[in-house]
């Protein structure tokens, strides 16, 4: 809030006397003076405040011209002090000489007051000032002894009032060795000697300006010593003897020397070994010589000369000083510190189990030596032969030598050696003769190698095995085993030397070379080979071998399927085939290489819908016939399949009698039979036609039954051709550009009669005196029926019962080829719906007149503007007797 109000005031928003009451500065505005270079905290001016209310903002400096931080206001109630801050120190020569300070205050009635205090600096005469280190410290100057005379220091000073005015320099107290020039240059007037002259001088430097003001500084001159004397050695003994193998850090001697330059003082000299050396070190300050590393004269270059000479250097400075040299000699003596050393501490050798007693196994004499220098320290002996079997089988002969001699038996087959094994571990000590009798242990491993002395022996003089001919590859046949008297048993390898070849295969048997397991590697065929004789060889690791004869009998098994001829065939059977009769005299003849015909069984696995077919006999023979077991029933819908795909299985039952083989193995052969069922054509004669009735006339086929597909293909092709020609004529008539396109008639050319006709095509049966003048066999039941050759009426023979009509929805196939002819195509549009009469009409005598077949033409009532029916040749019946024929009505032609 205070800063905000102050800002408003400075911007002219708030002015003096902005509130009620009295708020006045006492003593402001005013002008005051201040001497330059006054210290911080100097009181510049004092004023007071008259206010009827308490102050909200005490007097403070809000601005100055020029800007400065050299002043602040301190409260000292009831007065306020304007004092210097010392930041910066006000200097008449370097800072502005006048400052206008604006002082602001505010009470709690919002009354404000702002006044100005003008501070003017006054110039004060000042003494000279040092411009170098003499201004704030004692300056020390070092001069080497023997240095030439000349300038040693230049005083830098200035008069603040007039930097250009001349200054006066002087030294107190006056001293002969030094003088100062009018320009402030201090010079030495002699060459100093460190040993004869004082080593230091203290001078007071005085500088005076033109007004008589002075400033003093202190100067110390130090005389330094120089190294001009050579140090010398004070020791007298230079020959030393030490034993080898001393620990690093062991003191050998101490080198001493002195420096004439430092007589009467503690001299600092530096010592070093001037010759290349790795065994000794010297302390550079104390001169103590110590062993730096273990000295072993047995293995180093000191073996030939154990005397070491060291050149010692002493200097009064680490480098570039005065130096002196001396030589000391150190002799290293030998001690018995090494045990005998061998080329190896583990030796091994192999000895055959047949090695004779007294044989030298190993000589260690040349394998060990002692590296000590002194001959007495080099002598050693071999002692302490210990280890498994050492007393019975091995000894050092002569004693103390390194010769190991066999004194026992190593035969593997000896029962006394079974527990020992084939490897002996011996320990031999090689020991120094001299004190302290160092020794090392040597380990000797003697491995006894077996000797192949005996060939393998089979556990049987011969082997006989049996295996079934249906055993798969990998079947275990038997085990062949052989032993080897040699110990230890390393292994026997088995192999088939000869035998086992058949049908182009080198061998159908395989023997495991490690275990002797004999297995079947391929199928065996009893019908090809009934017995195999193998020669099996057993070979030990030393190539000794033995052979044995192995006989393998192949056991007959039921592994052959019955093979029948023919294995696929196509048969035709009429719907009126008598049950129990052979179909087309078909016979199936089967053979089996490993089964008797009495074991054959025949059955139909699939395709025998409604179980119409069986084989007779069904078992016990290799020749059988296909018999119709149940009649076909297409008229009543019991059968709908006209082609049967029979899959016939022929099993050989079990194996042949008295065959020593597993029971229950059955092999199965297969035969495929395709049986086509057809309807034989009726034998009725063609009927005559009258204007008032339509008769169905059929005639007997004159072509082969095997070519039944010929009229079918011809009929389909003719229908397609006629349809294509009709479509072409229609398109030509419709889109021909020669004739104008006529507008179609909106009314028929012939108006229909008022009486609605329900059907355009109908069947008209003529009442005839029913005389049954013919007989025929029903293709479904096989019974004989009578028929009228003109009306088509039928009845069962010797009964008055009419034939039951076949349902109109039952579709029967065409007859085999020898009973069919190309049917005549009915005229009329195939797309027009026609009415078909019922499949039967009652004759005059009450019997049902059945339509035996498809008519070759249809008679309809005469109608105006309809084309007359053309006559065509008789055709076979496309509809079985008793079914309603499909009739295409005649459709009046529509004008183009």
Query: What is the pLDDT averaged over residues 818-822?
Result: 38
Of residues 7 and 182, the one with the higher pLDDT is 182
Distance CA 57, CA 22 (A): 15
Residue 33 predicted with pLDDT over 60: yes
* 702-721 per-position pLDDT tens digit: 445 556 677 788 989 999 99
SS3 605: strand
Q: Which CATH code is given to the segment(s) 345-447?
A: 2.60.40.60
Task: Identify the CATH assignment for 457-555 out of 2.60.40.60, 3.30.420.40, 3.30.930.10, 2.60.40.10.
Answer: 2.60.40.60
Distance CA 557, CA 415 (A): 53
Distance CA 25, CA 115 (A): 7
CA distances from 67 to 95, 121, 353 (A): 11, 15, 120
Residue with tokens 């089967």: 590
* Secondary-structure class of domain 2-122 per CATH: mainly beta
Distance CA 181, CA 567 (A): 149
Query: What is the pLDDT averaged over residues 111-129?
Result: 89
Residue 309 predicted with pLDDT over 60: yes
Query: In which band, very low, low, confident or very high, does the pLDDT at 837 lie, cut at 50, 70 and 90?
Result: very low
Lowest mean pLDDT across 108-117, 488-497, 756-765, 799-808: 756-765
Lowest mean pLDDT across 38-42, 279-283, 548-552, 710-714: 710-714
Of residues 665 and 431, the one with the higher pLDDT is 431
Query: What is the pLDDT averaged over residues 148-168?
Result: 87
Query: In which band, very low, low, confident or very high, does the pLDDT at 334 lie, cut at 50, 70 and 90?
Result: confident
Residue 324's DSSP bridge partners are 314
Of residues 77 and 105, the one with the higher pLDDT is 105
* 637-688 per-position pLDDT tens digit: 889 999 999 999 988 875 444 444 455 578 888 999 999 999 987 543 333 3
CA distances from 580 to 89, 660, 707, 816 (A): 150, 40, 27, 22
Among left, alpha and beta (phi > 0; psi -120 to 50; other), residue 543 is left
Contact criterion met (CB below 8 Å) for 59 and 105: yes
- State the architecture of 563-678 in CATH terms: Sandwich (2.60)
Q: What is the pLDDT of residue 628?
A: 93
Query: What is the pLDDT averaged over residues 571-598?
Result: 89
Lowest mean pLDDT across 65-79, 82-96, 643-657: 643-657
Query: In which band, very low, low, confident or very high, does the pLDDT at 239 lie, cut at 50, 70 and 90?
Result: very high
Mode of pairing for the β-strands spanning 360-363 and 403-406: antiparallel
Q: Which CATH superfamily is domain 129-224 in?
A: Cadherins (2.60.40.60)
Q: Could you check whether the bond before residue 179 is cis, i.e. omega within 30 degrees of 0?
A: no
* 447-479 per-position pLDDT tens digit: 888 888 889 999 999 999 999 888 888 999 999
* 838-863 per-position pLDDT tens digit: 343 333 343 433 333 333 333 333 33
Q: What is the pLDDT of residue 790?
A: 66
271: which 2 tokens? 């010592």
867: which 2 tokens? 């084309």
Q: Which residues contact 885 (CB under 8 A, 6 or more apart)?
A: 696, 836, 851, 853, 854, 855, 878, 879
Query: In which band, very low, low, confident or very high, does the pLDDT at 612 lie, cut at 50, 70 and 90?
Result: very high
Of residues 180 and 791, the one with the higher pLDDT is 180
Residue 882 predicted with pLDDT over 50: no
For a pLDDT cut of 90, what percent of the chain falls above it?
A: 36
Query: In which band, very low, low, confident or very high, does the pLDDT at 487 lie, cut at 50, 70 and 90?
Result: confident
Q: Which regions of the chain carry the CATH code 2.60.40.60?
A: 2-122, 129-224, 232-333, 345-447, 457-555, 563-678
- Residue 354 half-sphere exposure toward CB, CA atoms < 13 A: 5
The DSSP symbol for 483 reads: E
> Considering Cα of 810, then 636, then 775, then 676, what sign does the dihedral take?
positive
Q: What is the pLDDT of residue 2?
A: 47
Of residues 575 and 160, the one with the higher pLDDT is 575
Q: What is the pLDDT of residue 165?
A: 84
133: which 2 tokens? 């280190």
Lowest mean pLDDT across 76-90, 301-315, 821-835: 821-835
Query: What is the pLDDT averaged over residues 62-89?
Result: 90
Nearest one of 471, 555, 500, 548 to 509, comparing CA atoms: 500
SS3 648: strand
Query: In which band, very low, low, confident or very high, does the pLDDT at 288 lie, cut at 50, 70 and 90?
Result: very high
Nearest one of 565, 685, 667 to 622, comparing CA atoms: 565
Contact criterion met (CB below 8 Å) for 9 and 17: no
Q: What is the pLDDT of residue 106?
A: 92
Q: What is the pLDDT of residue 429?
A: 92
CA distances from 610 to 203, 606, 607, 779 (A): 150, 11, 9, 19
Residue 253 predicted with pLDDT over 80: yes
Query: In which band, very low, low, confident or very high, does the pLDDT at 388 lie, cut at 50, 70 and 90?
Result: confident
CA distances from 448 to 129, 358, 416, 456 (A): 110, 16, 15, 21
SS3 569: strand
Query: What is the pLDDT averaged over residues 51-77?
Result: 90
* 128-141 per-position pLDDT tens digit: 889 889 888 999 99
Query: In which band, very low, low, confident or very high, does the pLDDT at 105 lie, cut at 50, 70 and 90?
Result: very high
- State the architecture of 232-333 in CATH terms: Sandwich (2.60)
Q: What is the pLDDT of residue 421?
A: 58
Query: What's the mean pLDDT when you consider all of the chain?
Result: 78
Residue 379 predicted with pLDDT over 90: no
Residue 18 predicted with pLDDT over 80: no
Residue 149 predicted with pLDDT over 70: yes
Q: What is the pLDDT of residue 265?
A: 63
Q: What is the pLDDT of residue 799?
A: 60
Residue 590 predicted with pLDDT over 80: yes
Query: In which band, very low, low, confident or very high, does the pLDDT at 418 lie, cut at 50, 70 and 90?
Result: low
The DSSP symbol for 133 reads: G
Query: In which band, very low, low, confident or very high, does the pLDDT at 803 lie, cut at 50, 70 and 90?
Result: low
Distance CA 824, CA 814 (A): 15
């Amino acid at each position: 809030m205070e800063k905000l109000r102050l800002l408003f005031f400075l911007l002219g928003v708030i002015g003096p006397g902005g509130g009620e009451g009295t708020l006045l500065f006492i003593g402001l505005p005013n002008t005051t003076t201040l001497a330059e270079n006054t210290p911080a905290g100097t009181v510049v001016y004092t004023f007071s405040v008259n206010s009827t209310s308490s102050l909200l903002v005490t007097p403070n400096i809000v601005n100055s011209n020029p800007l400065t931080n050299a002043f602040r206001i301190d409260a000292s109630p009831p007065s306020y002090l304007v004092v210097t801050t010392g930041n910066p120190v006000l200097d008449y020569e370097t800072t502005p000489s006048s400052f206008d300070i604006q002082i602001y205050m505010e009470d709690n009635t919002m009354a404000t007051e702002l006044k100005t205090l003008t501070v003017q600096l006054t110039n004060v005469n000042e003494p000279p000032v040092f411009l170098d280190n003499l201004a704030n410290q004692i300056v020390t100057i070092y001069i080497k002894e023997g240095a030439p005379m000349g300038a040693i220091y230049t005083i830098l000073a200035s008069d603040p009032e007039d930097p250009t005015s001349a200054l006066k320099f002087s030294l107190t107290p006056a001293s002969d060795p030094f003088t100062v020039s009018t320009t402030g240059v201090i010079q030495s007037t002699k060459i100093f000697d460190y040993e004869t002259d004082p080593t230091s001088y203290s001078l007071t430097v005085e500088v005076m300006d033109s007004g008589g003001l002075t400033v003093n500084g202190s100067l110390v001159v130090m005389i330094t010593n120089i190294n001009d004397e050579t140090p010398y050695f004070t020791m007298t003994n230079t020959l030393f003897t030490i034993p080898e193998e001393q620990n690093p850090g062991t003191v050998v001697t101490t080198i001493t020397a002195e420096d004439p330059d430092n007589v009467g003082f503690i001299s600092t000299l530096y010592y070093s070994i001037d010759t290349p050396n790795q065994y000794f070190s010297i302390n550079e300050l104390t001169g103590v010589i110590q062993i730096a590393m273990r000295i072993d004269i047995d293995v180093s270059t000191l073996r030939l000369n154990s005397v070491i000479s060291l050149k010692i250097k002493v200097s009064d400075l680490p480098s570039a000083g005065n130096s002196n040299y001396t030589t000391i000699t150190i002799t290293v003596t030998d001690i018995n510190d090494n045990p005998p050393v061998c080329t190896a501490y583990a030796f091994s050798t192999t000895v055959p189990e047949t090695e004779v007693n007294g044989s030298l196994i190993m000589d260690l004499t040349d394998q060990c030596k002692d590296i000590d220098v002194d001959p007495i320290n080099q002598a050693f002996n071999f002692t302490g032969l210990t280890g498994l079997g050492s007393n019975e089988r091995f000894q050092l002969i002569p004693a103390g030598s390194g010769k190991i001699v066999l004194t026992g038996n190593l035969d593997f087959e000896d029962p006394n050696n079974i527990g020992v094994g084939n490897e002996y571990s011996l320990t031999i000590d090689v020991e120094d003769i001299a004190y302290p009798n160092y020794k090392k242990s040597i380990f000797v491993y003697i491995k006894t190698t077996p000797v192949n002395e005996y060939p393998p022996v089979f556990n049987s003089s011969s082997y006989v095995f049996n295996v079934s001919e249906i055993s798969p590859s990998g079947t275990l046949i038997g085990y062949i085993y052989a032993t080897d008297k040699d110990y230890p048993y390393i292994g026997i390898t088995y192999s088939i030397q000869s035998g086992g070849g058949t049908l182009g295969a080198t061998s159908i048997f395989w023997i495991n070379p490690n275990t002797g397991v004999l297995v079947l590697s391929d199928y065996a065929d009893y019908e090809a080979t009934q017995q195999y004789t193998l020669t099996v060889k057993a070979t030990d690791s030393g190539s000794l071998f033995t052979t044995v004869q192995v006989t393998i009998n192949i056991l007959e098994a039921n592994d052959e399927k019955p093979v029948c001829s023919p294995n696929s065939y196509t048969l035709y059977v009429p719907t009126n085939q008598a049950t129990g009769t052979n179909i087309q005299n078909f016979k199936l003849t089967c053979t089996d290489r490993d089964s008797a015909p009495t074991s054959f069984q025949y059955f139909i696995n699939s395709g025998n819908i409604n179980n119409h077919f069986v084989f007779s006999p069904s078992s016990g023979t290799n020749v059988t016939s296909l018999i119709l077991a149940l009649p076909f029933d297409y008229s009543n819908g019991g059968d709908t399949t006209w082609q049967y795909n029979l899959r016939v299985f022929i099993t050989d039952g079990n194996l042949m009698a008295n065959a020593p083989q597993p029971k229950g193995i059955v092999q199965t052969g297969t035969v495929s039979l395709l049986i086509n069922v057809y309807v034989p054509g009726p034998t009725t004669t063609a009927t005559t036609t009258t204007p008032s009735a339509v008769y169905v006339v059929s005639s007997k086929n004159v072509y082969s039954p095997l070519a039944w597909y010929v009229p079918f293909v011809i009929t389909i092709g003719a229908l397609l051709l006629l349809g294509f020609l009709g479509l072409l004529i229609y398109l030509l008539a419709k889109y021909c550009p020669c004739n104008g396109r006529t507008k179609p008639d909106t009314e028929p050319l012939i108006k229909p009669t008022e009486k609605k006709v329900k059907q355009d095509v109908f069947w008209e049966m003529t009442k005839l005196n029913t005389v049954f003048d013919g007989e025929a066999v029903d293709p479904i039941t096989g019974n004989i029926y009578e028929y009228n050759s003109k009306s088509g009426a039928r009845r069962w023979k010797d009964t008055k019962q009419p034939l039951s009509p076949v349902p109109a929805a039952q579709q029967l196939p065409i007859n085999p080829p020898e009973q069919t002819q190309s049917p005549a195509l009915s005229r009329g549009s195939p797309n027009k719906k026609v009415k078909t009469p019922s499949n039967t009409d009652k004759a005059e005598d009450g019997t049902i007149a059945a339509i035996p077949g498809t008519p070759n033409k249809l008679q309809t009532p005469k109608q105006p503007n309809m084309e007359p029916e053309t006559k065509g040749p008789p055709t076979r019946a496309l509809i079985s007797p008793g079914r309603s024929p499909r009739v295409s009505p005649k459709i009046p032609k529509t004008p183009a």
